[in-house]
Amino acid sequence: MGSDATLKFFRHAELKHGRVAMAAMVGFLVHINHIHFSGMLSPTYGVSFADLSAMGPFDAWNAIPLLGQIQILWTIAGLEHASESLNPQGHYTKTGTPGDIKFLKKFFWGIGYDKLSTEQLAEKRESELKNGRLAMIGIASVCAAMSVPGSVPLLTGAPALTGAAFALPFGTF
C-alpha cells in the first residue's frame, strides 16, 4: 500500500485534480463576471455566448447543446488518456514523472521552461501543488454552496451561486 508507485499515483492524482480545479475556478470567475466571446455558440440552436453569460453556471451548462457537451467531455477524456498512456518515459507509477504531459509542457510552463534551473523548476512545481490545493478547496466550496444553501457560510446569499441542478448528457446531479 505504501510503495513508491502508490506515492506517484497519489501525486499524479493531486496534480491532475489541482489542474482541473484551477481551470474550473478560472472558468467560474470568468463566467460570474459576465466575460464572454461575442457571437453565437450554436447558431442552429440559437445559443449565444451572451445568453450563457447571463445564466447561472449550471444553467449555462444545461443550455449548451448535447453535441457541445460531448465535445467538452471528449476533450477531457483525451487529456486523461494522454496523461495515462502517452508519456514517452513510461507510466508515471513505473519510470515516468507524475503529472508530466509532454505535449502540454510548454503550455503549462510557458516558453523557456527548459531553461529553468533545478531549483526554479522545483519552486514552480511546489507553487502548482499549492495553487491546485487552494483551487480544489475553492471549487468544492462553490459546488457545495450551490447544491446545499447555507453549507458554506461565507458564500451564503452570493448572487452568482444560483441555478438549477448540474445535468450531464447521461444524468442530472
Residue 79 has which C-alpha cell?
487529456
pLDDT, one tens digit per residue, over 136-170 is: 999 998 888 877 777 877 776 665 555 444 444 44
pTM of the entire predicted model? 0.76
Chain-centroid distance, C-alpha 106: 18
Per residue in 129-143, pLDDT (tens digit) is 999 999 999 999 888
Per-residue confidence (pLDDT) for residue 170, from 0 to 100 = 47
Alpha-helical segments (H) within 33-166:
49-53, 57-63, 66-85, 105-109, 118-147
* Lowest mean pLDDT across 59-63, 117-121, 124-128, 151-155: 151-155
Q: How far apart are CA 48 and CA 63, in angstroms?
A: 10
Cell output for 112: 523557456
Q: Are 88 and 102 in contact (CB under 8 A)?
A: yes
pLDDT of 158 reads 64
Q: How much is the pLDDT for 137?
A: 93
Amino acid letter at 109? W
Range of weakest confidence among 24-33, 75-84, 152-161: 152-161
The candidate with the shortest Cα–Cα distance to 160, out of 62, 36, 57, is: 57
Q: What percent of the chain is predicted at pLDDT more than 90?
A: 29
Name the pairing type of β-strands 47-48 and 167-168. unpaired
We find that the CATH architecture of domain 9-172 is Orthogonal Bundle (1.10)
**Buried b / exposed e across 77-105, counting CB within 10 Å, b at 16+?**
eeeeeebeeebeeeebbeebbbbbbeeee
* Of the candidate ranges 24-33, 92-101, 103-112, 149-158, the one whose mean pLDDT is the lowest: 103-112
Q: Integer distance in angstroms from the first to the last C-alpha of the chain?
A: 33
For residues 68-89, average pLDDT:
82
Q: Which pLDDT score is estimated for 86?
A: 67
Share the mean pLDDT of the chain.
79
